[in-house]
Chain A
């Protein structure tokens, strides 16, 4: 695990979210550091997606402060918001591709909105993105309903990456994918993170991807967040966190991670 000297790029303070009588977040604090992959986990209904939606400004909290790049998201003008919005990308759960546009056109939507670029070059850029997320060339001319779930997620990621954002928000990126596709998606995120210098915030249920790519994990318990590296959280004795990481699935994911690491070490040691 690398160190995190990075400054906080997202800072959430005293967040309160309430729907009717039900309080989802109560005084939640969260820092996301530049260049890290942060996983957000929690039980069903614990408000993971609400937290994500609040940070990107789709949900207005009852109380609290959300700062992204050092600026208050809740207090900014529309113009400032637009400037902010081309510095982040969001991948929604099922891709949320515009159904009347092809994949290539979907990717071009944000580019067209913000920049005046010749058509030919724009087509090339969108084709580069299609390739980067591991879709075949033909996928660019397909409509969303012609794609499988995994391909839709990749296409959604390509659209989220269209403007080379600094932060990417992923809402359950591997949910509904088969283990091979999920593993490939994890790898893709990791590759893109190193090559593009992304900060990644992902809501996930997938223990394998937590162990595989997350630098730190934020656990939503008791309407607040407990954040730490996996090693720290594995030692946490909060009952929910303990049963999450030490339940049968948590243990299996840990073991497979250990196995993968030892295999990797063995491989890198072999040629010497």
Chain B
């Protein structure tokens, strides 16, 4: 048992930290505050350094990073800018990775080198009336000879405004519920793929979020991702991986908020002493710190399990739930430590607070994570034979001690 990063992973962390804190961190307030700002230069820089190919194998032009290195990168990017981190995370985990895992050889050869080189990928599953309840989505894909024709409305497409490649999910069999969903890889600019409104959001303001309308969108059958009916499996697998990325984002933002709070507490005086010498402030800082460390370890564990090729659905849900709730808590307390200054844009903590708020919502709400976790707990409990010692709590045998 050794929870430390390997030397290679540590190297990735050092390099990315330096890049993110010198080049991106100073720009984060501007990206946040300018209307429709898009960190194009940062994306170009990240592409040049290979970060847009983290999940793409080397044979297709990517870096072929393991999942632990990946979360290390996302955490460091999020420390500087959560909006930039989600752009890179979505691109890698739900943009490129489904093609790596489920794509045909032809799709991989055609698409992965482009994604690794800096064309942005995105993922379109949610609809106005179908979010967590994936099986109820209503977009359709009708087979017509060598093509499919897609129709429907899509929402919450992160990276949608700048993406070249869209992973779109629609129903090929409306009667089959979740088993009737199929994935498609659609090129930007295809006739019938229309970008809708650009959402004006509370946080992550320089990350673009668009709606899509699919109007008789014709794609060749060769654009189908996996088999017909595999879409839900692909989407859920992508989201499992995506959740570790969101956990990493949350850890990065929370660490940034804690560092701000500590720095402030060490210089600001009240009642004749530093804030850091006031018990109630110490209490807040300690509670912030312990959550971040716990979240980071859960995140590493989920990523490590994924790298071992072992089941990691529950581990990813645990990591996302704990990390995102921690980010909510930590960014809230970071403002509290700053007092009134925390509420003004001159200090970064109000941005961190706004950015963090979505972490408990996207790629599966906290409620969905708890549902996933509870189901795994109940499944495990079924496999454990109830020990004889237990007096089962039911009307007919309570009080009958079995020991």
Say whether A associates with B.
no
